[in-house]
Amino acid sequence: MPAMMYIVYVAICLSTMAPRDCDRASAVDWVAAPEPQQGLAACMIQGQEYISQARLVQPGKTYPKVYCVPPTSIGKQNVG
């Protein structure tokens, strides 16, 4: 059985915000990585790599939170 595909989303939140409160509505920025990833582990790894390469985080001011969402669930649930 092939692994499920996931779209990588990254929420960038203020360092003063608790991680449980970091979501799409509270993030200062919300970005999608360019390519879906096969499997949840690959999605999380790609999210971390994308964050470091895109320089999305301002040290001491913001932090990232990676979300991995199956493409079929977009529009059916509130992501983040």
Q: Fill in the amino acid letter for 74.
A: I
Helix (H) or strand (E) holding 9: strand 5-14
d(CA 43, CA 30): 16
69 within 8 A of 6, measured Cβ to Cβ: yes
- Please state the pTM of the whole predicted model: 0.79
pLDDT tens digits for range 24-80:
899 999 999 888 899 999 999 999 999 888 888 999 999 999 999 987 755 544 555
Q: Which phi and psi angles does 7 have, rounded to 5°?
A: -95, 135
**DSSP one-letter string for 21-37:** G-STTT-SEEEE-SS-E
